[in-house]
Chains A and B, each alone.
Chain A
Amino acid sequence: MARGPERVPSDERVRRSVRRTLANTFVLLASLAVIVAWAYFGFYELQPGQAAVVLRLGRYSETVSEPGLRWHWPPPIETHEIVNVASIEREEFGMPAPGEAEPKGKALLEAQMQTGDNNIVNLSFVVRYMVKDAFQSRYRVAEPRQTLRDAAQAAVREVVGHTPIDAVLSLKGEQIKAESGQILQRTLDAYESGLLVNGIEIQDAKAPSSVIAAFNEVLAAAQDRSRLVNEAQGYANEVLPKAHAQEAEQREQARGYRESKVAEATGAAERFRALDSEYRKAPDVTRRRLYLETMETVLPQVETVVVDPSTAHVLPYLPIGAAKPAPQASPEAKK
């Protein structure tokens, strides 16, 4: 009984063992296939500029930022969320609608701010920001964008609120930019928003439209002021060179006078010395010659009357000057 079934079942046994092996292999392969298929769901692709936040059973595991084909434990063990971390976002505040010069409605409300000296100014600005912590920006704040918008407005207004209007208008907000940027970053860090403020830019800062005329008048006055100063400087630039010219004239004339005086004196002195040295050689003759020469030239021009001292008493009767025309003759003399 044992033999009969023993021979036939030997075939059967082989067949059975083959079948078992096949089934085993099949089950193994199938299990493998299922596992591979499941594992396949763990693959994901990361583009440059993206970061994947990986959660394991809901708890934060890691942030992956190298781009390429990545793998984590397939869901539901691990899940990932992709966040854009490289792109710089822009938020505008108080900017006029495209094609309009002035902000209106909501934008005007955003732009209007009170300054430190209780004036009102219209300030439009842009905040540039990016995600610095993908996990925080996704899992720590509910509305990062809206939070940033309001926090930015609060920060800029806080700074403008203690800055006088002239500083806001004239500096075009260098200081406002820096200070409000710091405040905004501090606020966002306190919220664990995972956002990084790249910068706040003041687009436009001007007085409200109903007082802009008065502000322009101040600008015009400032121009008048510089014009007056310029004109005065022009006058000074004209007057001073003229004075210097007069100065030069005076000095040159005086020098000329001095030099000519010295030259004349030297000339006369030299002449006298020459004459004197000759005179010393023959004093009497020279003296007489000089006297007579002088008389020679003088007397012909002069009306000469020779009177002997002994007849000096006739002198009063001489018609002195009668030969000359009497320009101031008295009327009696004409008669």
Chain B
Amino acid sequence: MRRLVFIGMVTLALFVGLVWLGNFDQGPFLITREDQQKIVLLFGKPLLVRTEPGLALRLPFVTDVLTYDKRRLYLSTQPITAQTRDQELLVIDNYVIWRIEDPVQYRSSFPLGRSVAEAQINQVVNNDLRGVIGQRTLSEVVTTSRVDVMQAITHKSDENLRGSGIRIEDVRINRTELPAPTEENVYARMRTERERLARKERAQGEQEGRTIRAQADREAQVIVAEAKRDAEIERGQGDADATRIFAEAYSADPEFYSFVRGLEAYRKALSPKTTLVLSPSSEFFRLLDSARETKGP
């Protein structure tokens, strides 16, 4: 019983210890973590490739273990100057997302390690970048087909590095910059464009202002003219009303009207300036005459 427990304990401890050693690539167990891939080498020859995580067995003492990153790796390259199809120079800063797809191929391509691989990636990507950019115009690269350009570079670089166990997942232009002389040209163009806009703005202001004024003047003129028209019509109607009222009243006795109106006209028309020559036989002096006639013979 005791022996059984003892043996069990020792076995457990041994197992745990050996597994623990496996974390340091020692012992008979090979532990590959989620972010790792491992190659087991027997006298320099790959014996076992582990790209999936988990536990595996290996021959201790005689085999070696090499560990490679399985994650997506980030590589920022130095900005490079490339020439576009329309002979413009463009400073391009990009980054690369890559991963080790085939650790055995990768190992034989870059025995000296990752820095060599990164230098190689850098060179291939820059070459492809220059190639792709050279087929496009400046505005295509910067604006219209930026995504296409990035995809084309990614595709090309991936193909070029496929044989070395590397997968290029994404090449992305994060910054484009114009060289200083071109930049000055852009600034000059921006300035003239702004000046044009400013002039246009002011001219439009004047146009709008003057239009508003002219419209106001026109409206005012029309308002006043229409008011005058209506006023004349109203006055005319007033005159008509008065004429009608007069006519209604006077046509009852036209003869008497002309008599009364005549008298009134005399009253108004005759002034001190007037010299009136009257005949004694006129209506006014009729009484005089008739008196003389009655007193006389």
Using a CB–CB cutoff of 8 Å, the interface residues on chain A facing chain B are 20, 23-24, 27-28, 31, 34, 38, 55, 57-60, 75-77, 109-110, 112, 114-116, 118-120, 135, 138-143, 146-147, 150-151, 153-154, 157-158, 161-162, 165, 187, 190-193, 207-208, 210-211, 214-215, 217-218, 220-222, 224-229, 231-233, 235-236, 239-240, 242-244, 246-251, 253-255, 257-262, 264-266, 268-270, 272-273, 275-276, 279-280, 283, 287, 290-292, 294-295, 297-299, 301-309, 315, 320-321, 324
Which one of B6, B173, B216, B264 lies within 8 Å of A154 (CB-CB)?
A: B173
Chain A residues whose CB sits within 8 angstroms of the CB of B138 once the complex forms: 118
- Check if B119 is an interface residue, CB within 8 A of chain A: no
- Check if B295 is an interface residue, CB within 8 A of chain A: no
Chain B residues whose CB sits within 8 angstroms of the CB of A306 once the complex forms: 277-280, 285
Chain A residues whose CB sits within 8 angstroms of the CB of B32 once the complex forms: 58
Docked pose: A200 CA to B203 CA in angstroms = 39
Closest CB-CB distance, B271 to chain A, in whole Å?
Answer: 7
Docked pose: A305 CA to B280 CA in angstroms = 10
Chain A residues whose CB sits within 8 angstroms of the CB of B234 once the complex forms: 251, 254-255, 257-258
Docked pose: A41 CA to B207 CA in angstroms = 83
Closest CB-CB distance, A285 to chain B, in whole Å?
Answer: 13
Q: Do A187 and B170 touch (CB < 8 A)?
A: yes
Chain A residues whose CB sits within 8 angstroms of the CB of B31 once the complex forms: 57-58, 76
- A-B pairs, 3 with minimum CB distance: A258-B238, A225-B205, A269-B249
20 further A-B pairs in the complex, CB-CB below 8 A; given A221-B202, A261-B239:
A58-B32, A58-B36, A76-B16, A76-B19, A109-B177, A142-B73, A151-B172, A228-B202, A240-B223, A246-B227, A251-B230, A251-B234, A268-B249, A294-B263, A294-B264, A294-B266, A294-B267, A298-B267, A299-B284, A303-B272
Q: Do A254 and B206 touch (CB < 8 A)?
A: no
Q: Do A211 and B187 touch (CB < 8 A)?
A: yes
Docked pose: A258 CA to B238 CA in angstroms = 4
Which one of A114, A221, A308, A315 lies within 8 Å of B197 (CB-CB)?
A: A221
Q: Do B238 and A261 touch (CB < 8 A)?
A: yes
Chain B contact-residue range equals 35 or more
Count A/B pairs, Cβ under 8 Å.
Answer: 346
Q: Do A153 and B187 touch (CB < 8 A)?
A: no
26 contacts between A and B (CB under 8 A): A24-B5, A58-B34, A58-B53, A114-B176, A135-B34, A140-B71, A140-B72, A142-B69, A187-B172, A210-B187, A214-B195, A217-B195, A218-B197, A218-B198, A227-B205, A239-B220, A240-B223, A246-B227, A250-B228, A251-B231, A254-B235, A257-B238, A258-B235, A262-B242, A262-B245, A303-B275
- Check if B120 is an interface residue, CB within 8 A of chain A: no
- Check if B76 is an interface residue, CB within 8 A of chain A: yes
* Known contacts A75-B20, A250-B230: A214-B74 contact under CB 8 Å: no
Chain B residues whose CB sits within 8 angstroms of the CB of A110 once the complex forms: 175
Q: Do A228 and B206 touch (CB < 8 A)?
A: yes
Q: Do A246 and B223 touch (CB < 8 A)?
A: yes
Chain B residues whose CB sits within 8 angstroms of the CB of A272 once the complex forms: 249-250, 257, 260
Q: Do B276 and A162 touch (CB < 8 A)?
A: no
Closest CB-CB distance, A282 to chain B, in whole Å?
Answer: 12
Chain A residues whose CB sits within 8 angstroms of the CB of B193 once the complex forms: 119
- Check if B273 is an interface residue, CB within 8 A of chain A: yes
Interface bits B43-79 vs A (CB < 8 Å: 1, else 0): 0000000001111000000000000010111101000
- Check if B23 is an interface residue, CB within 8 A of chain A: yes
Closest partner residue, chain A, to B183 (CB atom)? A120
Q: Do B172 and A229 touch (CB < 8 A)?
A: no
Closest partner residue, chain B, to A121 (CB atom)? B190
Docked pose: A28 CA to B231 CA in angstroms = 126
Chain A residues whose CB sits within 8 angstroms of the CB of B223 once the complex forms: 240, 243-244, 246-247
Closest partner residue, chain B, to A262 (CB atom)? B241
Q: Do A275 and B143 touch (CB < 8 A)?
A: no
